[in-house]
Amino acid sequence: MMNPLISICIPCYQQPELLQRCLVSVMAQTYKNYELIITDDSPDDGNERLIQTLLKDKPYFYYRNSLALGSPLNWNKAIEYAKGEYIKLLHHDDYFTHKDSLQCFVDAARKHPYANFIFCNSVVAFANTKHNFIHRPSRQQLQRLKREPEFLFFRNCIGAPSATLYRNNKSISYDTRFKWLVDVDFYIRYLNQGSTNFYHIDKNLITTFNGAEGQITQSVANDVRIVVTEHIRLFTSIYSPALHTSKSKLYFEELFEHFDIRSKEALAHLIPLPQNITLFLEEVFKEAPKNKWYKKIMKRLLTSRYNKRIFKRERF
């Protein structure tokens, strides 16, 4: 029997009502040459019972972890089982927006075989409001992404992992040292491994759920140790003289200010300072007090709706 073209990998943890919506969107897809893999971190059998009922008489692979693996190890676990040519990671609280969403991914893969990495626009739905917005990269962002995948460190123009489809490459997995920047780290490494000929589908094929209880992004967003440590770790791994710029320093200046880190010594108490960016960090703290009003005005201008809609200049 031939392997399927697509492996839909759904790592899940509790929240059967969200998993149900995700699975219903999978079953509704017009494209059918896929395998469905579900890895479950739940301590109870709520998801398992849902799957047995909802996917009755449907082919699928279900694995319930005896010990919770956590993110992103549970993501990697689902991907390990994948036999498809392409991986379609779909988080249990996200879902396909349209019945032909998967078909659109497949059409893009067939029309652009050079592209090992494909991603689409996504509808970002907020849990506590009825407000949605479309996560869509600009033309300038896509052009810059082709030149320098490291740009993702400053602006994740790809979006959530659910918005991606990529060729099954077992040599690259999500780094378990990351939680906050795990997707950005993966994208940069994948694109730098000969995959910079990505393809962007200018359609809203995926809906991602923002603000759901228990989401990793919600639990670590204000954790200074996790957020700052991961920024330092990732920047250290991608650092080159080309990134030793005033904009890069401004990015870290604002990050440190947000967490009230005012000196290199205070940062060193939080995390060991990597040698290759020590000089860079010294300059960040040295230049932080300078030109405060100018920086404030420029931030206001570049984050304004006029810049976002018309000029589209990047801050970093």
Cβ–Cβ < 8 Å for 230, 176: no
> Tokens 């626009």 map to which residue?
121
If DSSP states are collapsed to H, E and C, what string results for 259-275?
Answer: CCCCCHHHHHHHCCCCH
**Spatial distance between the Cα atoms of 6 and 87, rounded to a whole number of angstroms:** 6
Dig out the tokens for 141 from the structure: 């962002």
Task: Please state, in angstroms and as integers, the Cα–Cα distance from residue 274 to each residue in 234, 238, 250, 286, following that order.
Answer: 11, 12, 19, 18
Q: H or E element: which one contains 258? A: helix 246-258
Q: Burial of 216 by CB count in 10 Å (0-12 exposed, 13-18 middle, 19+ buried)?
A: middle
Mean pLDDT computed over 11-27: 97
Q: H or E element: which one contains 228? A: helix 224-238
Quick check: 165 pLDDT over 70? Answer: yes
DSSP state of 28: T
Q: Burial of 92 by CB count in 10 Å (0-12 exposed, 13-18 middle, 19+ buried)?
A: buried
Q: Which residue has better confidence, 129 or 88?
A: 88
Domain range annotation of the chain:
6-217, 222-311
pLDDT digits (tens, 9 = 90+) for 62-73: 999 999 999 999
Mean pLDDT computed over 190-219: 82
Weakest-pLDDT range from 1-5, 153-157, 230-234, 258-262? 1-5
**pLDDT value for 312:** 80
The CATH homologous superfamily for domain 6-217 is: Spore Coat Polysaccharide Biosynthesis Protein SpsA; Chain A (3.90.550.10)
**Letter for the amino acid at 157?**
C
- Confidence bin at 221 (pLDDT 50/70/90): confident
**Spatial distance between the Cα atoms of 187 and 28, rounded to a whole number of angstroms:** 28
* CA-based nearest residue to 282, from 299, 268, 293: 268
Q: Coil, helix or strand for 207?
A: strand
Query: What rounded mean pLDDT belongs to the chain?
Result: 94
pLDDT digits (tens, 9 = 90+) for 39-81: 999 999 999 999 999 999 999 999 999 999 999 999 999 999 9
Dig out the tokens for 181 from the structure: 């920047």
**pLDDT value for 212:** 64
Query: Considering all CA atoms of the chain, what is the largest pairwise distance in Å, rounded to the nearest integer?
Result: 66
- Confidence bin at 18 (pLDDT 50/70/90): very high
| CA dihedral (124, 215, 80, 58) positive or negative | negative
Q: Which residue has better confidence, 221 or 247?
A: 247
**Spatial distance between the Cα atoms of 72 and 70, rounded to a whole number of angstroms:** 6
**pLDDT value for 223:** 94
pLDDT digits (tens, 9 = 90+) for 96-140: 999 999 999 999 999 999 999 999 999 999 877 778 999 999 999
Q: What are phi and psi of 261, to 5 degrees?
A: -100, 110
Mean pLDDT computed over 140-150: 95
Cis peptide before 4 (omega within 30 of 0): no
Quick check: 1 pLDDT over 70? Answer: no
Dig out the tokens for 5 from the structure: 């073209």
Other C-beta atoms closer than 10 Å to the C-beta of 284 total: 21
Quick check: 217 pLDDT over 80? Answer: no
> Tokens 């320093």 map to which residue?
249
Quick check: 195 pLDDT over 70? Answer: no
**pLDDT value for 218:** 65
